Amino acid sequence: MTWQIGLVANSLIAIAYFGIAAAIVFPLARSGQLRTNPLGAATAAIFFTCAVHHGAHSVHMLLPAFGLDDTQGLAMRTAWGWPLAIWDIVGACVAIYYWSLRRHYGSLMQGAQLFQDLRQREQQALELNDAVLQGLVVAKMALDLDQPRKANEALTASIQSASRIITDLLGSTHASLDLLRSVPAAAGRPGEHPVGAADDGSEDDASPRPPKSP
Taking only the tens place, the pLDDT of each residue in 37-69 is 888 889 889 999 999 999 999 998 998 888 887
* Single pTM value for the model: 0.54
Residue 170: predicted pLDDT = 63
| Residue 51 CB-density burial (10 A; 0-12 exposed, 13-18 middle, 19+ buried) | buried
Query: What percent of the chain has pLDDT above 90?
Result: 18
The more confident residue out of 173 and 143 is: 143
Q: Which of 39, 40, 50 is nearest to 91 (CA)?
A: 50
- State the amino acid at position 214 in one-letter form: P
pLDDT in tens, 120-135: 666 767 777 777 777 8
Answer yes or no: are the C-beta atoms of 45 and 14 closer than 8 Å: no
Let me know: does 194 contact 184? Beta carbons within 8 Å: yes
Q: CA nearest 11: which of 60, 46, 44?
A: 60
